[in-house]
Amino acid sequence: MGGTGSCVRKTGLEALCSGRGTPEFLAPNTENVTYDFDYNTARGEIKLANSTEGPLAANGFLLTAHRNGRGPQKFPTVRECPLNAGNTCVRVSGRILVQCEDMMVPNRATLSPTVVGQSACALRICTRGRPIFESVRTRTFTHTAHMVTSGVFFTLHIEKAHEGLFLNPRLLLVLESGDEVQLVDDRLGPLHLPLSFYTDFSILDDGGRNLQMDLIFRIFPSSESNGDKGAASADDGAGLKTLRTCLQEYTTYNSQVQSPCISLAFSDLPMLLPSSSVHLQNLVVSEDPVPGLPRPPPAASVTAAQGPATTASSMPSHRSISTAAPSPPESSRAGGNATSSTRTSAVTAETERVETADPDAAAGAPLAPASGATASLAAAPSAAGN
């Protein structure tokens, strides 16, 4: 029985590690899919909303080829949602392959100054995105540039520490000024170079409020990192090391944005590890209307419901909104407080009459005082005399 059991265990390990390698990606969001990318069936290209179709490499769409540390970071738009962020439940799932063939991390002196805290970003996905542009006008030309994308970002950073490398997923906000506000993060590790791993991610942005990111890391043994990335040695029992984490937070930032965009930023991991690469292999986006919330009406219907814009000529006359000061009662005319109260009410009524007068009449003949205000002013001296 012991020999048979060992054969069964060995066969099962071979089937798991050598035969299958990493399992096939199965997207958790299969309904109301609005964008679907699979590098095995993409015919050598990836379609993006605001840029040309990008070519594919052997392992997928290379996210590290378009980032050199100069100028603003590029944010290719994957999808523009037709509803506003508060009325949409957005789900984004996919897989990336990260390969770090460096044997050691360079010293801080050799790193780019843009790499802060000895870390670099491998994955960066934005929801509720709002592009921010800036323009410079000359005498004959106006130059407009996309400076930053404001929104909610789901990111995966790789940090360098004395113990090794750490996986650092984060949820953060990017403001219109470009400043980042971190909401929540996690730290997994340490890991050692050379390093190669798959990352399966599932992102949820529910109704412009609730956020969640699930991550599964399948890390290959170091002895296999320079060989076949889809198989491990079955003789020594070495298999894939699996790490999991889940981040949750809530925020209403940019929930009012109409037609928010879903963007995929390029990776700057080679600025920390020069020989590293990040390939996007799968990306699935689905959008569901939030139940119980009415869909926003089109802009034309909103304008029609509000009616024509209010102008000075269409404002109501002073007779309909100004209020004349009431005459003081007989019992209060004998005191000085009655005089002060009457004068204050008369001035208030006169101010309202002047502010709400018809501008056409104001441009012509002088306005006659309101009847109520005249009676109040006439009554003030007699009250004082009494």
According to DSSP, residue 296 is labeled P
Q: What is the pLDDT of residues 44-100, one digit of tens each?
A: 778 888 665 677 888 999 988 654 445 455 678 898 888 888 889 999 999 999 999
Q: What residues does 133 pair with on adjacent strands?
A: 146
Q: Name every residue whose Cβ is closer than 8 Å to that of residue 94 and which is 6 or more positions away in sequence.
A: 25, 27, 37, 200, 201, 280, 281, 282, 283, 284
Q: Measured between alpha carbons, how far is 86 from 252 in angstroms, rounded to an integer?
A: 8
Classify residue 40 by burial, with Cβ atoms within 10 Å: 0-12, 13-18, 19+.
exposed
Q: Is the pLDDT of residue 250 over 60?
A: yes
pLDDT attached to residue 293? 58
- 43 contact partners, CB below 8 Å, separation of at least 6: none
CB 204 within 8 A of CB 211: yes
Residue 330 has pLDDT above 70, yes or no: no
Distance CA 123, CA 275 (A): 17
Contacts 24+ apart (CB under 8 A), 19-22: 21/230, 21/231, 21/232, 22/198, 22/218, 22/230, 22/240
Q: Please give the radius of gyration of the chain, using alpha carbons only, rounded to the nearest integer.
A: 34
Angstrom distance (rounded) from CA 254 to CA 184? 18
Around Cβ 356, how many Cβ atoms within 10 Å?
15
The pTM (predicted TM-score) of the whole model is: 0.66
pLDDT in tens, 126-184: 999 999 888 899 889 998 888 889 999 999 999 988 888 999 999 999 999 989 999 99
| 42 or 279, which is more confident | 279
Q: At 265, which helix (H) or strand (E)?
A: none
